[in-house]
Amino acid sequence: MTEEHSRDIPRRVPTTRQPELFQRIGGRKTIERIVDSFYTKVENDKELRPLFPQDLDEGRIKQKLFLEQWLGGEPRYSEQYGHPRLRRRHFPFVISHRSAGRWMRHMTQAFRDCDISETEIAELVATFGPMAKHMVNNNDDVPRQPLEDTFLH
């Protein structure tokens, strides 16, 4: 592997959860529809919207890449942005239990909008719920500046 190449691909690509779940819900197309639906809900949520940057486009793209990778698709997020370190990446945003709950409710509604079956929604909620809780940081003394490059050199 050339030096340049080894920098492009992070050595610790996170393990994916249930590869078949990604396929069962309809793959990349469905993930993209879910994230678009979710972002529309965030855009219209007076409580959550101020947490997000004015321009939602980049976050929307990253969310699509990450969710695909996390649910068992291609690891395109890590190829482009390095190790997710998701909790650390959320430190600039002060996230309370209440906002995590709203985030989760919007995501669950987005699953329903995309006609995912209730069985699969239950699996998705079981995967997303603990992660949403893990993002709560409002009472933590954490650095609030954005995370820099997370490629492992």
Contact between 85 and 150 (Cβ < 8 Å): yes
Contact between 36 and 60 (Cβ < 8 Å): yes
Instruction: Decide: is 25 part of the binding site for ligand HEM (CB under 6 A).
Output: no
Instruction: Decide: is 99 part of the binding site for ligand HEM (CB under 6 A).
Output: yes
Among 27, 89, 113, 123, binds ligand HEM (CB under 6 A): 89
Residue 134 main-chain phi, psi, to 5 deg: -65, -25
Side-chain half-sphere CA neighbours of 141 within 13 A: 0
Nearer to ligand HEM, 2 or 54 (CB): 54
**Residue number, nearest CB to ligand HEM:** 59
| Closest C-alpha among 89, 70, 85 to residue 146 | 89
Instruction: Decide: is 100 part of the binding site for ligand HEM (CB under 6 A).
Output: yes
Q: How many CB atoms lie within 10 A of CB 3?
A: 7
Instruction: Decide: is 63 part of the binding site for ligand HEM (CB under 6 A).
Output: yes
The residue ranges that bind ligand HEM (CB under 6 A) are 48, 51-53, 56, 58-59, 62-63, 66, 81, 86, 89-90, 93, 95, 99-100, 103, 128, 131-132, 135
